[in-house]
């Protein structure tokens, strides 16, 4: 595993960075409508008296430090990955006990990353071929000082193992404990791309909804992507390995 003390820190400033998420998750009113997070605890307390399910919608707000919370238009896209977590949904840089916001440097990077994980889910559950869940593109800015693994692109480093996340999760836990804001790393699924794993929602800003996308599962892989707005359909061509 990469030694944390040897990992350089770089300023990452991306405009037009992209996250792709399932469209099944609606915006969370509290995050969207109330721009100042300082007022959230009182509003939640009042709302709970008439709406006991509100915490299910908001998630575990205590997982986000008060001074790192964000509110206003689009804030759901930044906050939800940190308040809705589960150890049933681990990923490269978390065991699921805390949140991470994953963002690609461009649309193609986010697309291939999500296609990979969606394909694994469809294969495990033995889904029948056909058009599957709708996704939405979120375009945002990233501005943060991040521990930088991008120089390791193509190298056999355990933190970038394509299938085993044990080392990368251990690294992330260590860096979080040391006060890091996140990790920049080469995309594992899109060789030309880069990704960031952000540990706090205020490391990104200005999230705007872009395209709605449909993925087609042929029984073995996602082979087609449809722009739900224009109706255009694109064939997914396998990319060469980074090895």
What pLDDT digit, counting tens, does each position of 153-188 carry? Answer: 878 899 999 999 999 999 999 999 999 999 999 999
Give the burial string for 123-147 (b: 16+ CB within 10 Å, else e). Answer: eeeeeeeeebeebbbbbbbbebebb
| In the block, residue with structure tokens 């042929």 | 218
- Supply the pLDDT for residue 23: 86
Q: Are 50 and 75 in contact (CB under 8 A)?
A: no
Looking at the chain, the whole-number percentage of residues with pLDDT higher than 70 is 86
CA angle 73, 208, 88 (to 5 degrees): 90
pLDDT in tens, 24-76: 766 766 677 766 777 676 666 666 655 656 556 778 888 999 999 998 889 99
- Supply the pLDDT for residue 181: 98
Q: Rounded to an integer, what distance in angstroms lies between the CA atom of residue 132 and that of residue 241?
A: 26
- Supply the pLDDT for residue 153: 84
Q: Is the pLDDT of residue 243 over 60?
A: no
When the pLDDT of each residue in the chain is averaged and rounded to a whole number, the result is 89
Q: Rounded to an integer, what distance in angstroms lies between the CA atom of residue 230 and that of residue 227?
A: 6
Provide the whole-model pTM: 0.89
Can you list the positions of beta strands (E) in 36-177? 101-104, 130-148
Q: Which pairing describes strands 194-198 and 101-104: parallel, antiparallel, or unpaired?
A: antiparallel
pLDDT in tens, 87-128: 999 999 999 999 999 999 999 999 999 999 999 999 999 999
- Supply the pLDDT for residue 36: 75
Q: Are 14 and 141 in contact (CB under 8 A)?
A: yes
- Supply the pLDDT for residue 50: 59
- Supply the pLDDT for residue 9: 97
- Supply the pLDDT for residue 1: 47
Beta carbons within 8 Å of 178's beta carbon, 6+ residues apart: 4
Q: Which of 51, 61, 53 is nearest to 31 (CA)?
A: 61
The helix/strand/coil state of 121 is helix
Q: Rounded to an integer, what distance in angstroms lies between the CA atom of residue 229 and that of residue 164?
A: 36
Q: Are 199 and 180 in contact (CB under 8 A)?
A: yes
């Amino acid at each position: 595993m990469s030694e944390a003390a040897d990992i350089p820190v770089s300023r990452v400033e991306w405009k037009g960075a992209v996250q792709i998420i399932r469209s099944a998750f609606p915006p969370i009113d509290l995050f969207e409508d109330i721009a100042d997070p300082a007022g959230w605890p009182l509003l939640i307390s009042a709302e709970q008296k008439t709406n006991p399910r509100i915490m299910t919608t908001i998630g575990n707000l205590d997982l986000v430090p008060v001074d790192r919370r964000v509110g206003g238009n689009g804030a759901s896209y930044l906050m939800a990955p940190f308040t809705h977590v589960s150890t049933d949904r681990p990923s490269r840089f978390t065991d699921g006990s805390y949140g991470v916001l994953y963002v690609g440097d461009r649309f193609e990077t986010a697309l291939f990353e999500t296609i990979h994980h969606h394909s694994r889910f469809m294969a495990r559950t033995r889904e029948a071929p056909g058009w599957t869940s709708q996704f939405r593109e979120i375009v945002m800015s990233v501005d943060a000082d991040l521990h930088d693994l991008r120089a390791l692109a193509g190298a056999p480093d355990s933190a970038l193992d394509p299938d085993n996340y044990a080392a990368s999760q251990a690294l992330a836990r260590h860096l979080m404990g040391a006060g890091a804001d996140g990790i920049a790393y080469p995309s594992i699924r899109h060789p030309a791309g880069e990704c960031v794993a952000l540990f706090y929602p205020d490391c990104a800003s200005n999230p705007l909804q872009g395209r709605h996308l449909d993925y087609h599962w042929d029984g073995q892989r996602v082979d087609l992507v449809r722009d739900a707005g224009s109706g255009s359909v694109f064939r997914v061509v396998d990319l060469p390995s980074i090895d």
